[in-house]
Amino acid sequence: MTIRDVAAHAAVNPSTVSRALNPATRHLIGDEVVKRVLASAKALGYRPNALASALSGGSSKVVGVLLPDIENPVFPPIIRGIEEQLAAEGFSVLIANLVVGSSEQEQEQALEQMLSRQVDGLILATAAREDPLVRRCILEDIPVVLVNRGEQDGRVPEVVNDDILSMKLAVDHLIDLGHASIAHVSGPLTLATGHSRHQGFLIAARQHGLADTPIVEATEFTREAGRIACGKLLKRHKGVTAIVAANDLIALGCYDALQAANLRCPEDVSIIGHNDMPLVDMLNPPLSTIRIQHREMGKQGARLLLDRIQKRDGAIVRITLPPKLMARGSTCQVAKPADRAPARKKAMERGPAT
């Protein structure tokens, strides 16, 4: 079935059918005509071919989204924000998972798959500080926006969290609780978020005059990588009383490392995460963390991409969203050394928690 068949069945012009079937132009014709066209299309089993439209020089009304870890609870609210904003403009979303650490060839393959489906633009949540996909999008004039992660040269629009403020909120909170030996389990420093939060931690530590700020880099933003990195930290730096984790999954790994070392959270070591993932307030103890506006990040990213699709040579816009401290049970007033020793001895006698 073609548009001409639907037009003949509904007794209207083919151009009227095109407008009636397109949510973006439907308002240009009367409701009665729209209903008649939709009824005819349904009766004939007609479905618009968006891909054919895109191939003929039109728009596919599809945006590609590349994620680094689709199982990470951070990304569903970002996707929801993207979908909500794009749906209002008649666009749909095509999602692909690009595992962290993928080779440049694998990244290129993922991009090719998106482009082969004639997407109108891309939203990348995968960007490294020096990202080959960003470079290619620029060279081929593909509309692209970064969310959650930026790239160091600022060549394309991006929506990110204020990681410098995030770390200031985290360190300020621990200082207010009396902590002076504060460590950082960072994310991968090759990624924009790992690097910016690491920098933010160093800046906040200097502002408070902290001389001893141990830092161990986690190889991934995962619980297992956090456990390994925190285990190394605890072995090398016995006097640490608080840990700032680069994200909540790494913070969960810190919980595991403390348990393995027969240390209690927060009595022996306070932990603060980053992201405020769903259910972290139900942990034992509930995780203190930094809340990021992930849904709003998705919405703003989609808006920037729509602007980019319409105007390729527009200004490069960088939107930075403010975070919020969520103080819960995993951080507490620092205990004096004399008070902490009996607690540690008791914990060792009790053995690991189950």
What pLDDT, in 10s, does the model give residues 143-158?
Answer: 999 999 887 777 899 9
Any domain includes 54: no
Tell whether the model's pLDDT for residue 338 goes beyond 60.
Answer: no
Residue of 292, 305, 243 lying closest to 85 (CA atoms): 305
First-to-last CA distance in the chain? 63
Q: What is this structure's pTM?
A: 0.77
Q: Give yes or no for residue 348 having a pLDDT over 50.
A: no
Rounded mean pLDDT of 189-206?
94
Owning domain of residue 240: 163-292+326-350
User: Higher confidence at residue 215 or residue 14?
Assistant: 215
Contacts of 241 (CB under 8 A, 6+ apart): 179, 180, 181, 182, 268, 269, 270, 334, 335
Same-domain pairing of 183 and 110: no
Do 189 and 330 have their domain in common?
yes
Three-point CA angle 178, 218, 274, nearest 5°: 50
The reported pLDDT for the residue numbered 354 is 32
Q: Is the pLDDT of residue 333 over 90?
A: yes
Yes or no: say if 6 and 45 are a contact pair by the CB < 8 Å rule. Answer: no
Supply the mean pLDDT for the chain. Answer: 88
Q: What percent of the chain has pLDDT over 90?
A: 62
Give the bridge partners for 183, in sequence order.
243
Element holding 230 (H helix, E strand): helix 223-236
Q: What is the mean pLDDT of residues 105-112?
A: 81
Nearest of 142, 146, 121 to residue 131 by alpha carbon: 146
Domain identity same for 156 and 222:
no
State whether residue 328 is helix, strand or coil.
Answer: coil
Q: Quick check: 353 pLDDT over 60? A: no
Total domains in the fold of the chain: 3
281 and 171, same structural domain? yes
Give Cα separations from 20 to 57, 58, 91, 349 (angstroms).
20, 17, 16, 74
Residue 100 neighbours by CB under 8 Å, 6+ apart: 68, 69, 126, 188, 191, 220, 221
Helix 3-10 with 14-21: angle, nearest 10 deg: 100
**Residues 284 and 214 placed together within one structural domain of the fold:** yes
